[in-house]
Each structure stands twice: as structure tokens, then as C-alpha cells.
């Protein structure tokens, strides 16, 4: 493995994963792998690295410490934003995940030697190799635990809150006062928040903070929102029901459809279940784990900005984006990209 140019900076751990994966690739396939550059600055953002496999064309690299079904969508969205051939690199890809990536035609390498790479010159698919050592248990900072994610969500959606008293933030985010202090402590240490005066400050590296939130949300917070699925016979019921009165907010596909006109929603996602019984009396939902209606608890207390949609209560674009990306569906990823460019840039 040759390294042509490198600017590792504070990205050491990720580069270490990349090096291990390239070494494993060389050992498994007896083909050369070269790091061309790390932290590559492109018009669309900063790519983790650029590599060349078997002297073929160069690939933009997205490095993920861990790759799970819930984070796959986000990883793909990250990779696709550069509009160039990409490569996912991670510590370990289990066989089911490897099969899924192959089906999606997403090239990947892991540190155990598993790989899927397809070019005009070669096709490599290695799966079933075990990781050399079990993944160490990772300590998740409190900011990226469920309640911390609520605080981050609040300040990303309502940036003025970074100037507000902790009690106000706690109220708007729906968390205890103590949680706010811990969250800001973590955000400061991670470089996402810079105090500019004794009380208050500004969000730094907003793009990266959004990425971190989008990655953590489906793992940490979403499962705690009591997601439930139902089947509803009528398709467009959500267009006529007055959801605002029921404190219900459209998310994911219907929200994306209203914002972009790029999607026909198949699953209607709703945040806010306190008045679900009232709605149920009208639309007669039947419990079904694969149904076309998903209901989750609402986890914020602030009033989301309208985001250009009249007459419909729609969750903040950040949540729409996170939910779409978590599905990993190609069409949803395309729509997510549009939402990010239009509403989160």
C-alpha cells in the first residue's frame, strides 16, 4: 500500500480504518491499493479520502467506523453527494450487509478483508471473513444519547435557542434542565459549539453536526419514540384530515412530497400520538407491522418553522431528511438530497 499524499489531522482513527481495510484488500486479492489523498476538499464538501485500487480509476472514500442498517442510508447519501465513483470503508461488514451493498452496487472494503468492487477491469466480492477482534464497546457521549439529541435537534431547528437560558432550552427540547448543561459541555468539547459570551454562543461545523445527528437519530432516539405501524385502506386520508388540531405532524415521505413534489408517499409517517385515538376513529387503522401508516411520539415542544408548506403541519426539514436517509431507499435518498440542499444548506 502506497501513500501518495496525506493530511491526517484529527482524522487519525478513520484513516487507521482505511489503512487496515486497504491492507486487508491487498492481502485478500493480491492487488495494489493506494491512498491518493485524505480529507479531500471538493466543491460539494470534504471527502474522507481518495484511493486507487488495482491501478484502476480513483474512488472517493467515505469512512464509517461502524456500518449498520440504520446508518447505511446516511453513508450512501454522503457518498453520492460528490457525484463521482465512491467506495465505502468500514471496520467490518457482516454477510447480510455485504449482500445488501452488492445488490445496491455500492463498492465497499472492510478491515477484515471483505470487499465488493466492480470496475470494467475486475469484479471482486469477498464476504464471510470474520473481524480479527471483536469491536470494542464504544462510549457514546451524552450529547448523542436520546435526550442530548433532543437538545441538538432544538438548537439546529431554532438557532436562536443557543442564546436562550438553559431553562428555556430544556422546555423547548422537552428534556430536564440538567441534560442541557451536559449536552452543551459535550458540544463544546467536540467543537460543535463556541461560547461567544458568558451566556450564549454559536453553532460551529453545522454541516458536520447535522451529519452526526442524522447518523445517531435512527439508532438512539427514534426507537424510543414508540414507533407503531398500521394499515389504512384509504390512501390520501392525510390530505383531508385536520392534523394540526390533533397536534400531529407529517414526517418522512408525505412531508418530503409536500416540500419537493418529487415523491409519491407510500408510507405516511406521523409524529404526535397523544390524540391518535381521535384520528383512529376516523380512519380505522389496523395494526400491521408492514402497514402504510407509521405513528411516533413527538419529541419537541417548539413550533417548527413553516418551511414553505401551507395548510399542512410538517416536521422540521432536518427530521424529514434524517428519516428519508435512514430508509436507504434510492428514491428517498434522491429526495433527501434535494431537501438538504434547499432547506438545510
Per rule CB under 7 A, is residue 194 in the interface with DNA? no
302 touching DNA, by CB under 7 A: no
165 binding DNA? (CB under 7 A)? yes
Residue placing its CB nearer to DNA in the complex, 184 or 230 = 184
167 is a contact residue toward DNA (CB under 7 A): yes
Q: First-to-last CA distance in the chain? A: 37
**CB of residue 102 vs DNA: minimum separation in angstroms?**
30
With the CA atoms of 323, 329, 334 and 335 taken in that order, what torsion angle do they form, in degrees rounded to the nearest 10?
A: -40
Site string for DNA, 244-283 (x = CB under 7 A): ----------------------------------------
Identity of the residue, 244 or 274, whose beta carbon is nearer to DNA in the bound complex = 274
Phi-psi region of 39 (alpha: psi -120 to 50; beta: other; left: phi over 0): left
Residues of span 112-151 touching DNA by CB under 7 A: 139-140, 142, 145-148
For residue 305 the three cell numbers come to 418553522
DSSP readout, 152-204?
A: HHHHHH-GGGGGS-HHHHHHHHTS-HHHHHHHHHHHHHTTSEEE-SSS-EEE-
Among 58-66, 94-102, 174-182, 305-313, the segment contacting DNA (CB under 7 A): 174-182
Task: Identify the sign of the CA torsion 171, 176, 180, 181.
Answer: positive
Q: How far is the CB of 133 from DNA (least distance, A)?
A: 17
To which residue does cell 442524522 refer?
214
Nearer to DNA, 20 or 172 (CB): 172
| 213 close to 152: Cβ distance less than 8 angstroms | yes
Least Cβ distance, residue 97 to DNA (angstroms): 21
Scanning 47-55, 169-177, 227-235, 238-246 for contacts with DNA by CB under 7 A, the matching segment is 169-177
Binding residue for DNA (CB under 7 A) from 1, 122, 176, 286?
176
Among 108, 182, 192, 217, binds DNA (CB under 7 A): 182
Residue spans of alpha helices (H) in 235-275: 237-240, 252-260
Query: Where does this chain bind DNA (CB under 7 A)?
Result: 139-140, 142, 145-148, 165-167, 175-182, 184, 198-199
Amino acid at each position: 500500500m502506497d501513500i501518495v499524499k496525506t493530511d491526517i489531522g484529527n482524522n487519525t482513527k478513520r484513516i487507521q480504518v482505511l489503512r487496515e481495510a486497504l491492507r486487508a484488500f491487498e492481502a485478500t486479492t493480491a492487488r495494489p491499493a493506494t491512498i491518493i489523498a485524505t480529507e479531500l476538499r471538493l466543491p460539494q464538501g470534504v471527502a474522507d479520502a481518495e484511493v486507487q485500487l488495482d491501478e484502476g480509476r480513483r474512488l472517493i472514500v467515505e469512512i464509517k467506523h461502524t456500518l449498520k442498517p440504520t446508518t447505511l442510508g446516511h453513508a450512501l447519501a454522503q457518498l453520492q453527494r460528490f457525484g463521482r465513483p465512491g467506495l465505502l470503508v468500514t471496520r467490518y461488514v457482516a454477510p447480510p450487509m455485504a449482500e445488501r451493498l452488492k445488490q445496491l452496487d455500492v463498492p465497499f472494503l472492510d478491515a477484515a478483508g471483505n470487499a465488493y468492487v466492480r470496475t470494467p477491469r475486475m469484479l471482486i466480492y469477498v464476504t464471510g471473513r470474520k473481524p480479527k477482534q471483536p469491536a470494542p464497546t464504544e462510549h457514546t457521549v451524552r450529547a448523542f444519547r436520546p435526550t442530548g439529541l433532543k437538545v441538538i435537534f432544538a438548537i439546529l431547528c431554532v438557532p436562536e435557542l443557543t442564546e436562550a437560558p438553559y431553562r428555556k432550552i430544556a422546555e423547548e427540547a422537552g428534556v430536564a434542565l440538567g441534560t442541557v448543561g451536559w449536552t452543551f459541555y459535550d458540544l463544546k468539547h467536540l467543537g460543535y459549539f463556541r461560547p461567544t459570551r458568558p451566556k450564549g454562543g454559536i453553532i460551529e461545523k453545522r454541516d458536520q453536526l447535522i451529519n452526526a445527528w442524522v447518523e445517531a437519530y435512527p439508532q438512539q432516539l427514534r426507537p424510543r419514540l414508540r414507533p407503531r405501524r398500521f394499515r389504512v385502506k384509504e390512501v390520501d386520508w392525510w390530505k383531508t384530515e385536520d392534523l394540526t388540531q390533533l397536534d400531529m405532524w407529517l414526517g418522512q415521505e408525505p412531508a418530503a412530497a409536500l416540500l419537493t413534489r418529487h415523491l409519491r408517499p407510500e408510507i405516511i409517517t406521523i409524529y404526535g400520538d397523544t390524540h391518535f385515538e381521535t384520528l383512529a376513529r376516523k380512519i380505522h387503522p389496523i395494526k400491521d407491522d408492514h402497514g402504510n401508516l407509521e405513528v411516533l411520539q413527538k419529541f419537541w415542544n417548539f413550533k417548527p418553522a413553516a418551511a414553505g408548506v401551507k395548510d399542512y403541519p410538517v416536521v422540521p426539514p432536518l427530521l424529514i431528511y434524517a428519516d428519508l436517509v435512514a430508509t436507504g431507499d434510492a428514491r428517498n435518498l434522491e429526495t433527501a438530497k434535494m431537501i438538504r440542499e434547499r432547506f438545510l444548506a
